[in-house]
Amino acid sequence: MKETSSTYCGECLRDFEPCEVVHYTWTENRCFCHICKSIMNTRSKPSWLDWQPRKVKG
């Protein structure tokens, strides 16, 4: 799994925990927490968002 240097969610701005698994989408070029990923899936087709898991650097 790739790592991300992202430190917060691109939607709710919650700070990520070190080593937390988050969700990256190239269409937004940002990482999102699990809750916001679900919200984003209601705005666009999940296949369009092409989610990829990322691990927050710890």
Domain map (residue ranges) of the chain: 2-56
Give per-residue pLDDT as tens, 9-57: 999 999 999 999 999 999 999 999 999 999 999 998 888 999 999 999 9
End-to-end CA distance of the chain: 14
Quickly tell me which residue has 């209601």 as its tokens: 42
Q: Fold for domain 2-56? A: Cysteine Rich Protein (2.10.110)
pLDDT of residue 19: 96
- Check: CB of residue 49 under 8 Å from CB of residue 10: no
- Check: CB of residue 56 under 8 Å from CB of residue 1: no
Instruction: Give the confidence band of 58 by pLDDT, cuts at 50, 70, 90.
Output: confident
